[in-house]
């Protein structure tokens, strides 16, 4: 999978996305400054959300449309999205600002008209939000554009994931990534279930990653260790500006710390390799080997009292210890001498 200039595969570094979402709080100046801050914090990408209140729901005050059990308690869907949306007339300027900063920019569309807008902006990829994973017609339309598709699985069953993947592949699009997500805001760390990152990749044969709503960097670090190749976090220049998503978004310093930790985790994971580096080889100087610990005259027998397995590691390998016990030496040896096989007269048929 390639998004813009960034190649994403099992050998690549983690693709780190700063999610702008509603964190402009209605201000274009905030949105533009957030893009600059995301670059400073080490993000590879800034992601938008492309919808209006009218393209994502209807203005209805029936109880079905009232939010319950979240940080947006008792707000109506229409009112929330009216407050949170990113004006469509900003998109071109935001894409240009991201390009100027050297950031990849793409978006989550929430209806066909949003896809059409993003196609006009030559978006390099698409994100399917967790709650849209069941919208198969929308997924088919997005997949038909032939761009990489990243799908969050925050509320998905196995069947939902399979239907979404089938929709993409039915349209001839196999450039798919699945993100483990917990759709709570903020999400409890005990519900992160990061082992799913590895399972998503193995079960469905796709790139996997994390769309994270927990607080802090712990979950992204664990995700990296389980093979995540994409990590998405909500990003805000300063939580004090407020907004619907401010409480569970990272500020610049927090995001920068997370990026640093993820990059260090990548280095720590490394590769499967049993050869030793130069430093590791040097470390073998301190391993065990066979040394003479009491003077031995030529013809005397090697015993547990005069030869031992000790540090350092310049003598004979300890695997020979039982073999040489009871045999004689063929020359005088002093305490502290390395023992070698050519010093030992091995009895035949011992």
The pTM (predicted TM-score) of the whole model is 0.88
pLDDT higher than 70, residue 350: no
**The two three-digit tokens of residue 197, written as one number:** 């990152």
Question: Taking the domains of the chain in order of start, what are their residue ranges?
Answer: 2-269, 278-345
The CATH superfamily of 2-269 is: Aldolase class I (3.20.20.70)
Contacts 24+ apart (CB under 8 A), 314-320: 314/285, 314/289, 314/338, 315/289, 315/290, 315/291, 315/339, 315/340, 316/289, 316/290, 316/340, 316/341, 317/289, 317/290, 318/288, 318/289, 318/290, 320/290
Contacts of 230 (CB under 8 A, 6+ apart): 8, 14, 15, 17, 150, 177, 179, 207, 208, 209, 210
pLDDT higher than 70, residue 277: yes
pLDDT score of 346: 87
Segment 205-253, tens digit of pLDDT = 999 999 999 999 999 999 999 999 999 999 999 999 988 889 899 999 9
Segment 173-187, tens digit of pLDDT = 999 999 999 888 888
Tell me how far apart the alpha carbons of residues 106 and 329 are, in angstroms, rounded to a whole number: 76
Given 3.30.360.10, 3.90.1210.10, 3.40.50.2300, 3.30.390.10, which CATH number is that of 278-345?
3.90.1210.10
Length of the chain counted residue by residue = 350
The overall average pLDDT reported for the chain is 95
* Torsion angle, alpha carbons of 80, 82, 86, 87, to 10: 180
Q: Which of 127-136, 138-147, 275-284, 285-294 has the lowest mean pLDDT?
A: 275-284
């Amino acid at each position: 999978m390639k998004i813009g200039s960034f190649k994403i595969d099992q050998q690549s570094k983690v693709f780190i996305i700063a999610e702008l979402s509603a964190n402009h709080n209605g201000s274009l100046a905030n949105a533009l400054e957030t893009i600059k801050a995301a670059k400073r914090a080490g993000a590879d990408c800034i992601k938008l959300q492309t919808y209006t209140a009218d393209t994502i729901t209807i203005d209805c005050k029936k109880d079905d449309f009232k939010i319950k059990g979240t940080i947006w308690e008792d707000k109506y869907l229409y009112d929330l999205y009216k407050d949170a949306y990113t004006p469509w007339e900003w998109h071109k300027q935001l894409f240009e600002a991201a390009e100027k900063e050297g950031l990849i920019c793409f978006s989550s569309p929430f209806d066909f008209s949003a896809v059409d807008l993003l196609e006009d902006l030559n978006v390099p990829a698409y994100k399917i939000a967790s709650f849209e994973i069941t919208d198969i017609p929308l997924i088919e339309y997005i997949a038909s554009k032939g761009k990489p598709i990243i799908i969050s699985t925050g509320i998905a069953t196995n069947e939902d994931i399979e239907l979404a993947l089938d929709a993409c592949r039915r349209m001839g699009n196999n450039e798919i990534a699945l993100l483990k997500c917990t759709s709570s805001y903020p999400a409890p760390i005990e519900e992160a279930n990061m082992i799913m990152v590895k399972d998503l990749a193995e079960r469905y044969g796709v790139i996997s990653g994390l769309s994270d709503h927990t607080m802090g960097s712990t979950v992204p670090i664990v995700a990296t260790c389980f093979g995540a190749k994409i990590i998405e976090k909500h990003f805000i220049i300063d939580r004090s500006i407020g907004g619907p998503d401010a409480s569970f978004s990272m500020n610049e310093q927090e995001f920068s710390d997370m990026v640093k930790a993820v990059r260090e985790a990548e280095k720590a994971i490394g590769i499967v390799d049993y050869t030793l580096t130069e430093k590791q080889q040097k470390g073998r100087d301190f391993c065990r080997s066979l040394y003479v610990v009491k003077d031995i005259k030529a013809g005397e027998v090697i015993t547990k009292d005069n030869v031992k397995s000790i540090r350092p590691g310049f003598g004979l390998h300890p695997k020979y210890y039982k073999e040489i016990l009871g045999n004689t030496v063929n020359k005088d040896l002093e305490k502290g001498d390395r023992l070698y096989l050519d010093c030992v007269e091995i009895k035949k048929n011992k």
